[in-house]
C-alpha cells in the first residue's frame, strides 16, 4: 500500500472544506444537494472567485487530458484536427471515435494490441447495442493512449512501457503539469485507464486549464472544432465547447473550463457526481462577467437535470 505523507494529509480536503454549490428542486422543495469546491483564476493565475477551500488537493482525473496532449506534442506528436482532439478526449466509443483511434495507431505503425487501457463496451448507447464484444479502442481513454503511443514512436521511446511513471513521456507529462499549475506534485498514483495520475489543488487545476487555453492554440482549436471527438455530441464538455469555451470533464465530479482570455475554472463535487459540476463552473464564470446571461441561460437549459412528474417538469438542478 502507498504511504501518504503527512503534508499531503494536511492538504487533503476535509468535509467542511466543501460548500453547497447546487441543489435539485421538485415543486419548490429541495430534493437533493451537492457540495463542492471551485476556483476561478485570471490571466495572472491568481484567484478571482472561489467556493470552498480551493487550495485542497484532488485527483483531477481526465480533466488534465489537454495538458497530457501538450506533453505529447513536445515529444513530437504530429497530429491535427479531430485526431489531435481525441487525444484530449474521453470519447464514447462510437464508430467514428474508434476509427480515429485506429487511424492514429496505424500512422505510428501500431494497432489495437499496443493499447494498454482496459477493454470496454462503448459508452454511447447506440454503439454499445451494435458492439459484439468489448475492445480496448472502445475504452474512453483510448484516444489518449493512442496519442501516448504515437508520441513515444515519434520520440524513439519504448512503446511497451509507455504507462510506466519513469517513462520519458510520463516524466514530460509531470513536467507540464507542474509548469502549467504552478505547483509541485505531492502524490502520484494510477488512474482508471492505467496511466499515472498526479494530485493537484483545485486552484492549481484552474490555473493549468487557464494557461493551456491561452497558450496552446493548435490543441485548443482542434478541440473546439471537434467537440464530438473530445466526448460525444451530448456530453457536457462537448455542449459547452460548441459555445467557444474549452471544457473537459473528469471522473468523480471534476470539471474544468478555460477561456482564450486566460481565465480558467475548476470544480470538484464532493460526492463524485458529475451532473452539477458543469453548471457550477458556468455559474462562476457568469457571476464574474465572463459569460453573458443569455449564453449562461442557454447552456443551463441544455445541461440541467429536470425534476419530471410524468411529462411535466416540477423543478430542476441549479447552481447556487
Question: Is 40 contained in some domain?
Answer: yes
Question: Is 167 contained in some domain?
Answer: yes
> Is pLDDT above 80 for 4?
no
Instruction: Using alpha carbons, list the distances in angstroms from residue 100 to 78, 226, 299, 301, 320.
Output: 14, 12, 28, 31, 39
Q: How many residues does the chain have?
A: 320
| pLDDT 10s digits, 134-148 | 999 999 999 999 999
Angle at 150 between CA 146 and CA 152, to 5 degrees: 115
Q: What is the DSSP letter of 234?
A: T
Nearest Cα neighbor of 141 from 251, 29, 237 is 251
Please give the tally of structural domains in the chain: 1
| pLDDT 10s digits, 226-277 | 999 999 999 999 999 999 999 999 999 999 999 999 999 999 999 999 999 9
Cα–Cα distance, 190 to 195 (Å, whole number): 6
Instruction: Using alpha carbons, list the distances in angstroms from residue 230 to 26, 100, 134.
Output: 33, 11, 20
Residue-level pLDDT at 10: 74
Domain harbouring 29, CATH code: 3.40.710
**Percentage of the chain with pLDDT > 90?**
94
Question: Is 1 contained in some domain?
Answer: no
Cα–Cα distance, 279 to 202 (Å, whole number): 16
**Percentage of the chain with pLDDT > 70?**
98
Residue-level pLDDT at 8: 75
Region 203-216: what's the mean pLDDT? 98
Question: Is 138 contained in some domain?
Answer: yes
Residue-level pLDDT at 12: 79
Residue-level pLDDT at 136: 97
Question: Is 225 contained in some domain?
Answer: yes
Q: Give the least confident one: 13-17, 20-24, 181-185, 298-302.
A: 13-17
> Is pLDDT above 50 for 156?
yes
Question: Is 243 contained in some domain?
Answer: yes
pTM for this predicted structure: 0.95
Residue-level pLDDT at 1: 45
Residue 131: domain span: 6-319
Region 289-294: what's the mean pLDDT? 98
| pLDDT 10s digits, 55-95 | 999 999 999 999 999 999 999 999 999 999 999 999 999 99
Residue-level pLDDT at 3: 61
**CB burial string 140-160: b at 16+ within 10 A, e below:** bbbbbbbbbbbbbbbbebebe
Residue-level pLDDT at 253: 98
H or E, element range at 26: strand 19-26
Region 209-216: what's the mean pLDDT? 98
Residue-level pLDDT at 9: 75
Residue-level pLDDT at 68: 98
- Mean pLDDT taken over the chain: 96
Could you give the count of Cα atoms lying within 13 Å of 154 in the half-sphere of its Cβ?
A: 19
Q: Give yes or no for a contact between 78 and 117, defined as CB atoms under 8 angstroms apart.
A: no
Residue identified by cell 455530441 is 233
Query: Which DSSP string do the residues of 175-200 spell out, in sequence order?
Result: HHHHHHHTS----EEE-TTSSEEE-E
Q: Give the SS3 label for residue 279.
A: helix
> Is pLDDT above 60 for 2?
no
Amino acid at each position: 500500500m502507498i504511504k501518504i505523507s503527512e503534508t499531503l494529509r494536511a492538504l487533503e480536503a476535509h468535509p467542511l472544506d466543501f460548500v453547497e454549490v447546487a441543489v435539485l428542486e421538485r415543486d419548490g422543495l429541495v430534493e437533493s444537494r451537492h457540495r463542492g469546491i471551485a476556483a476561478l483564476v485570471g490571466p495572472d493565475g491568481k484567484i478571482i472567485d472561489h467556493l470552498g477551500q480551493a487550495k485542497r488537493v484532488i485527483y483531477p482525473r481526465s480533466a488534465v487530458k489537454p495538458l497530457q496532449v501538450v506533453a505529447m506534442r513536445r515529444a513530437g506528436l504530429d497530429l491535427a484536427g479531430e485526431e489531435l482532439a481525441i487525444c484530449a478526449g474521453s470519447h464514447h466509443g462510437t464508430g467514428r471515435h474508434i476509427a480515429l483511434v485506429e487511424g492514429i495507431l496505424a500512422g505510428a505503425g501500431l494497432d489495437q494490441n499496443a493499447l494498454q487501457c482496459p477493454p470496454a463496451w462503448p459508452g454511447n448507447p447506440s454503439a454499445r447495442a451494435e458492439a459484439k464484444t468489448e475492445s480496448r479502442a472502445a475504452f474512453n481513454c483510448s484516444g489518449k493512449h493512442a496519442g501516448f503511443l504515437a508520441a513515444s514512436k515519434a520520440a524513439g521511446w519504448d512503446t511497451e512501457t509507455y504507462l510506466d511513471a519513469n517513462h520519458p513521456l510520463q516524466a514530460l507529462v509531470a513536467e507540464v503539469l507542474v509548469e502549467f499549475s504552478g505547483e509541485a506534485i505531492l502524490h502520484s498514483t494510477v488512474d482508471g485507464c492505467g496511466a499515472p495520475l498526479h494530485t493537484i489543488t483545485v486552484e492549481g487545476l484552474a490555473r493549468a486549464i487557464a494557461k493551456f487555453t491561452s497558450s496552446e492554440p493548435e490543441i485548443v482549436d482542434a478541440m473546439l472544432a471537434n467537440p464530438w471527438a473530445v466526448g460525444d455530441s451530448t456530453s457536457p464538455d462537448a455542449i459547452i465547447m460548441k459555445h467557444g469555451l474549452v471544457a473537459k470533464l473528469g471522473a468523480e465530479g471534476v470539471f474544468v473550463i478555460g477561456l482564450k482570455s486566460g481565465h480558467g475554472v475548476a470544480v470538484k463535487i464532493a460526492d463524485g457526481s458529475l451532473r452539477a459540476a458543469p453548471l457550477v463552473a458556468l455559474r462562476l464564470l457568469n457571476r464574474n462577467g465572463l459569460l453573458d446571461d443569455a449564453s449562461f441561460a442557454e447552456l443551463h437549459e441544455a445541461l440541467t437535470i429536470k425534476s419530471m412528474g410524468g411529462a411535466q417538469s416540477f423543478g430542476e438542478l441549479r447552481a447556487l
